[in-house]
Structure 1
Amino acid sequence: MRLSRRLILKSAGALPLLAGGLPLLGLQARAQTAPAAVPPILFVHGNGDHAALWITTLWRMESNGVPRERMRAINFTDPLARTDDKVEQPNRSSTEDQRRELGEAVKELQRRTGAARIALVGNSRGGYSIRNYIRNGGGADVSHAVLCGVPNHGIYDWDDGINNEFNGRGPFLRGLNEGDSEATPGTAFLTLRSDGNDKYAQPDGRFVGKPGTPTGVTSDGPALKGATNLALGALDHREVAFHPRAFREIYKSIAGAEPSRIEIVPEAEVRLSGLVTGTPGGVVTNRPVSGATVEIYRVSPETGERIGGPVHSSQTGADGRWGPAQVEATWFLEIVLTSAGSPTTHFYRSPFPRSSEIAHLRAARPLGPADAGAGAVVLMSRPRGYFGLPRDVVLIDGKEPGDVKSGVPTDSVTILRLPAAELGRPVVTIFNTERIVARAWPASENRIAVAELTY
């Protein structure tokens, strides 16, 4: 049988996640030297997200010799799109807001590195701001544009909601897509998409609230005329940006060569810091929260119990920054975020193999009516992808979660509620090869535990 490139890419989607490898071996490894032609890279997150989603990609870039100081991940102030792009909404952004803020970040990275042109890599809505910036005067600044899971022809094509930026029939996307080429000449464009597993590139409207209604888009929606377009098998909407398979294509497109490694090379000393952000009026933002307390504990990988006292404690100022905290690349961590008006959130994390200044924190959602009567609430969260059943192994407290839908991966959070009699006990969460043990904290004290997956 002849193996086509499409078949190879499709099969690759089933590969297990590659994390840091064996920590002790990784500590002896050395990051490679990147090709001299690699330009500075600016990573652009999607709707409602923040820069921290790019942590693993940045680590892989560093492990291939790309200097940390030549990369940046933008944090849009108001990451959520407006319902109508032309009508202001509190703590939401227009396409023009995003274009302007991205342009400022481009100029800052150029100034910092002295480079005339940089590469832009975006996931989902982040690709809109990239295309908008390049098409409307910024093309001379951008050598490469990698668009990952970007709904370039909309998530639907309807007369309803015509001014929503995600409407393929609306003026925003029509403007970006007009002409013989949808990729602005002078910049090398690559699009990465799923082969049918992207919930925002589906022919049926069930993922946008209208089941049974044709959306007018297909799984090929993220592809662009005039670009290099690749389908990465069964990867989902976020994985086409953050999965190791996506990293290979991102790196190869920008560097002009294959990466020397996919695994993350651990550092001997790991320093973490980040931004605490809030949800004013229930809207997720990247606006800083002052007066928040961040404590970090080393915990047992088997029980989630704390090993000694806090290894770090700090309070945010007006800029919302916490840290830096020094940890080891093999430590499992509990990060406790306490901020006014939000639940005290106990984040349980796999080891951080490398340093990061974008270990951003946002408190868990408020306890609601569905949590009434629960002694403890434990969330299992996957920010860099969705849970796919039966594609993935997904277990919380020894069971496959009942609130994760099968088929096209749609859910990135699953919830476990425990009776008061089970307070304080460990809760094992497993996603494929990543395993995190959280502890059940009392909901009566307005506390939530979150097992936050890294991969």
Structure 2
Amino acid sequence: MRDNRLWRLRRLLLVAIAGGPLVLSRTPAADAATFRYNPILFVHGIEGSGAQFESQAMRFESNRYPTSWVDEVDYNSTRAVGDKSEVDQQIDDAIAALKLRAGKSQVDVIAHSLGTSVMYDYLTNGDMAARRRANVGHYINVDGQNQNPGVPTLAVWAGRGTPGRNMDGAQNVTIPDQTHVQTCTSAESFVQYYTFLTGRRPLCDICRRSPIEVAGKALDFPQNSGFLGATVQVWPVDSSGQRSTTTPLASIDITDGSIGGGKWGPVSVQPNQRYEFALVQTGLPTLHIYYEPFVRSDHTLRLLASPAIEEYAGGRPGSVSSVTIRYKELWGDQGVENDQLLINGLNVCTEGLCPISKQVNAFFAFDRNRDGQTDLSQPDPVLSALPFIQGADVYVRASSPPDDTVSFQLISRGGGGVRTLNVPNWDAITDGVTLQWNDFDKLTF
């Protein structure tokens, strides 16, 4: 605390000497040479990716963690259920790289869901277990398995999960009124993460800061291999989702198709400006991914393509095929705590489609019955069988080229008013649409 007060005093003196106003939009990034905490590695869960750590990465960076000290392992979770050798090697490599970049002897690890089983196995099984434990300074086990891996551990549990869960020998905390994925991504969980890792509460939530650059990976989901051969195009768009330039701001070829590959960026973007990220791949429909305006640099964007699902939900001429993603479950059966997800004014987050038990993170809306009609009476039987995914019969007229605007709106149970993403009415034969909503509703604790 004394070091922090001295830093603030020096900053005040510098501003006074310069004769300018004191404006602190965030705590500045620490000097990596003097930053005393460990770098951080995130290990996601089943049917997940590093995207579930996007908000938390921005929070750590807002609280002085150097950007290069925060990383995520994108692994093939379907394979890892039965064979963890591949992800174990990825974790080994990521820890070694973080130690080298940070000049530290240990890394702190945060794992969620299936990732907690991956980490327990990683830290306890095999000839390398003791050496691996020595590399981990702190471990945070988020809403997953309950066996202590033998390193200093914080076990975080969802308050809307199975009651009474506990990990012996660990520090245990339950996040009230939150479900499985929300407990991974929320500001309330971040306070617990940060306090456990540093011994003090964070100074701020996600803090606005310019200039802004974005980067991430283009992945073939859920295997999480780099989307080899694709091109990432970044387009500024206007309030209706129409491209506001004749050429993309950036065009980046994906040349690494390995598991966890697919890196692109960084690309400089403007605050208060919306962007479209187009995944262009020969022989496949173009995937148009729309984000809310960025508030600070974000290096954890995951542009997720899933050709098999896109083929299933696409291929319907004259209609729009879309998926709405938010890494905070959509609730449709919780009364006053319900979310509302509106497509052209129609709320599709219903009691039958978004029960809290389904833990919906991705909602596919497409003309399932191929009849030009909407029928929300029952979920799509194929997509609803997948974890965290829901599908429904929602007809929205499309055209090629687009000739109209589709309105997607979110009214979150966390407040913050009506959020709107308008997009062109792309035809499902040649184009797919992804709406990526922030999993936070405000920028303060």
TM-score bracket, shorter-length normalisation: 0.7 to 0.9
Unaligned runs of at least 5 residues, structure 2: 1-22, 366-393, 440-445
Superimposed CA distance per residue, residues 304-343 of structure 1 (whole angstroms, 9 cap, x where no aligned partner): 2332332222222246333332101221111111124543
8 Å contact from structure 2 (residues 315, 429) kept in 1: no
Question: 1:80 aligns to what?
Answer: 78
8 Å contact from structure 1 (residues 130, 145) kept in 2: no
8 Å contact from structure 1 (residues 380, 429) kept in 2: no
8 Å contact from structure 1 (residues 42, 120) kept in 2: yes
Question: 2:379 aligns to what?
Answer: none
Question: What is the identity, as a one-letter code, of the residue corresponding to 1:312?
Answer: A
Match of 1:406 among 350, 355, 359: 355
Question: What is the identity, as a one-letter code, of the residue corresponding to 2:360?
Answer: D
Question: What is the identity, as a one-letter code, of the residue corresponding to 2:409?
Answer: T
Please give the secondary structure, in 2, of the residue aligned with 1:126.
Answer: helix
Superimposed CA distance per residue, residues 243-281 of structure 1 (whole angstroms, 9 cap, x where no aligned partner): 11111111111011000012x1223122222222225xx
| Identity value in percent | 19
8 Å contact from structure 2 (residues 55, 185) kept in 1: yes
Question: What is the identity, as a one-letter code, of the residue corresponding to 1:393?
Answer: D
8 Å contact from structure 2 (residues 208, 295) kept in 1: yes
Please give the secondary structure, in 2, of the residue aligned with 1:368.
Answer: helix
Matched, 1:68 2:95: no
Question: 1:351 aligns to what?
Answer: 293
8 Å contact from structure 1 (residues 304, 439) kept in 2: yes
Higher strand share: 2
Provide the rounded CA distance (Å) in 2 between the counterparts of 1:369 and 1:334.
21
Question: 1:103 aligns to what?
Answer: 92
Question: 2:152 aligns to what?
Answer: 188
Please give the secondary structure, in 2, of the residue aligned with 1:418.
Answer: coil
Question: 1:145 aligns to what?
Answer: 139
Residue 350 of structure 1 and its aligned partner are, at CA, apart by: 0.6
Question: 2:255 aligns to what?
Answer: 317
Provide the rounded CA distance (Å) in 1 between the counterparts of 2:91 and 2:242.
42
Provide the rounded CA distance (Å) in 2 between the counterparts of 1:114 and 1:454.
33
Question: What is the identity, as a one-letter code, of the residue corresponding to 1:31?
Answer: T
Q: What are the equivalent positions in structure 2 for 1:27-46 lying under 5 Å apart?
A: 29-32=25-28, 36-46=35-45
Aligned residues: 361
Residue 381 of structure 1 and its aligned partner are, at CA, apart by: 1.3
TM-score with structure 2 setting the length? 0.74
Question: What is the identity, as a one-letter code, of the residue corresponding to 1:417?
Answer: Y
Provide the rounded CA distance (Å) in 2 between the counterparts of 1:272 and 1:241.
22
Provide the rounded CA distance (Å) in 2 between the counterparts of 1:367 and 1:429.
25
Matched, 1:443 2:407: no
8 Å contact from structure 1 (residues 266, 329) kept in 2: no
Question: 2:167 aligns to what?
Answer: 224
Q: What are the equivalent positions in structure 2 for 1:125-136 lying under 5 Å apart?
A: 125-135=114-124, 136=129
Provide the rounded CA distance (Å) in 1 between the counterparts of 2:53 and 2:203.
19
Question: 2:52 aligns to what?
Answer: 53
Match of 2:268 among 294, 319, 326: 326
Question: 1:124 aligns to what?
Answer: 113
Residue 33 of structure 1 and its aligned partner are, at CA, apart by: 6.5
Question: 1:419 aligns to what?
Answer: 397
Please give the secondary structure, in 2, of the residue aligned with 1:30.
Answer: coil
Residue 114 of structure 1 and its aligned partner are, at CA, apart by: 1.8
Residue 409 of structure 1 and its aligned partner are, at CA, apart by: 5.2
TM-score with structure 1 setting the length? 0.72
Provide the rounded CA distance (Å) in 1 between the counterparts of 2:24 and 2:171.
37
Deviates most, 397-406 or 266-275 = 397-406
8 Å contact from structure 2 (residues 237, 275) kept in 1: yes
Residue 130 of structure 1 and its aligned partner are, at CA, apart by: 2.1
8 Å contact from structure 1 (residues 381, 450) kept in 2: yes
Provide the rounded CA distance (Å) in 2 between the counterparts of 1:340 and 1:370.
16
Residue 440 of structure 1 and its aligned partner are, at CA, apart by: 4.1
Question: What is the identity, as a one-letter code, of the residue corresponding to 2:110?
Answer: V
Unaligned runs of at least 5 residues, structure 1: 1-26, 86-93, 154-176, 199-217
Superimposed CA distance per residue, residues 403-423 of structure 1 (whole angstroms, 9 cap, x where no aligned partner): 632333521122243134795
Matched, 1:304 2:304: no
Residue 238 of structure 1 and its aligned partner are, at CA, apart by: 0.8
Deviates most, 135-144 or 94-103 = 94-103
Residue 227 of structure 1 and its aligned partner are, at CA, apart by: 0.9
Provide the rounded CA distance (Å) in 2 between the counterparts of 1:33 and 1:311.
27
Please give the secondary structure, in 2, of the residue aligned with 1:376.
Answer: coil
Question: 2:102 aligns to what?
Answer: 113
Residue 300 of structure 1 and its aligned partner are, at CA, apart by: 2.7
Match of 1:295 among 222, 226, 233: 233
